[in-house]
């Protein structure tokens, strides 16, 4: 009797052959291919070499990770440097300052201890270790700009909530007021947003559009991470437009998949930039950070 590994490999092999055959049939039908069998094998082998690492990461994830969505991972060192420059441009603060903030969250032992305590005894839904990925950029933006009101739609397990709360609490310790407001339709969302970090703000449970409609404070930093359809994303931006503070930033966690934030930026006369993640040791190609922000002249200390 075949063991489980043999069955898995057989299924994957059959799927690969089917997908390849379908691609060839769609393009050529019953016509002869313009390559010999040897040439075709060489071409496919060469192209696959660009994906060797990702394919290996895919099988490691499939057999070892407990995550089925909302994947967590570190960013490559090079990608973190790119992120620091990206945030520097968006905020007007020096790259050296932003890099220090990124290192700050990477070295935050209290935050990691909190994550480990929450996850103790659980079998999922997250892998061991706190890996904020692109959210390090969120953290650096909050640390640099010291926003008074930060709103995030779509809390899920609370990776973003925890990251933003950590930044807000550090700002408070330095004498800068700030508050986090999250929204989520799932009343059980925000498992990581607890303990001391819950002192940074609150989560509003219910439909994000309804929560935003009722919100009557000026928003300094808005982060869209809820329903990832382009139409819902656009509705959120339209709804918060009149609630934004004068120099507010708008971040889109779905900007790798839609142009909703880009179009909002065009319509409202804001600049738009996008940062793409490069996950370290993971098959997932990465999401990113889209940001709509006003144009400001640079000064030695940041925005004027």
Residue 231, token pair as written in the block: 């139409």
pLDDT at 194: 97
Q: What is the pLDDT of residues 167-183, one digit of tens each?
A: 999 999 999 999 999 99
Q: What is the pLDDT of residues 227-276, one digit of tens each?
A: 889 999 999 999 999 999 999 999 999 999 999 999 999 999 999 999 99
Question: Which residues make Cβ contacts (< 8 Å) with residue 62, sequence separation at least 6?
Answer: none
Tell me: pLDDT of 2 over 90.
Answer: no
Distance of CA 145 to the CA centre of its chain: 20
Q: What is the pLDDT of residues 91-146, one digit of tens each?
A: 999 999 999 999 999 999 999 999 999 988 776 688 888 999 999 999 999 999 99
Least confident window among 191-205, 232-246, 290-304: 290-304
Give, rounded to a whole angstrom, the gap between the first and last alpha carbons of the chain: 72
Alpha-carbon distance 115 to 141, whole Å? Answer: 22
């Amino acid at each position: 009797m075949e063991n489980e590994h043999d069955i898995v490999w057989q299924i994957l092999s059959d799927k690969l052959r089917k997908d390849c055959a379908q691609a060839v049939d769609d393009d050529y039908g019953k016509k002869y291919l313009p390559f010999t069998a040897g040439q075709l094998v060489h071409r496919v082998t060469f192209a696959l070499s660009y994906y060797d690492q990702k394919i290996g990461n895919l099988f490691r994830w499939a057999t070892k990770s407990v995550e089925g969505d909302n994947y967590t991972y570190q960013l490559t060192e090079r990608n973190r440097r790119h992120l620091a420059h990206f945030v520097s441009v968006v905020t007007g603060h020096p790259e050296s300052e932003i890099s220090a903030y990124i290192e700050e969250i990477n070295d935050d032992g209290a935050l990691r201890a909190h994550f480990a305590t929450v996850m103790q005894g659980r079998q999922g839904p997250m892998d061991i270790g706190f890996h904020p990925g692109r959210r390090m950029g969120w953290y650096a933006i909050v640390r640099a700009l010291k926003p008074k009101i930060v709103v995030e739609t779509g809390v899920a397990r609370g990776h973003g909530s925890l990251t933003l709360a950590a930044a807000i609490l550090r700002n408070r310790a330095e004498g800068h007021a700030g508050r986090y407001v999250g929204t989520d339709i799932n009343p059980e969302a925000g498992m990581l947003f607890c303990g001391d970090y819950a002192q940074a703000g609150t989560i509003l449970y219910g439909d994000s559009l309804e929560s935003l409609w009722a919100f009557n404070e000026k928003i300094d930093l808005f982060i869209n991470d809820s329903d990832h359809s382009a139409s819902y994303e656009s509705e959120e931006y339209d709804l918060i437009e009149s609630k934004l503070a004068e120099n507010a930033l708008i971040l889109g966690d779905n900007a790798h998949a839609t142009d909703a934030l880009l179009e909002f930026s065009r319509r409202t006369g804001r600049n738009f930039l996008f940062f793409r993640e490069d996950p370290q040791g993971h098959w997932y190609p990465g999401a990113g950070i889209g940001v709509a922000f006003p144009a400001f002249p640079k000064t030695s200390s940041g925005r004027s």
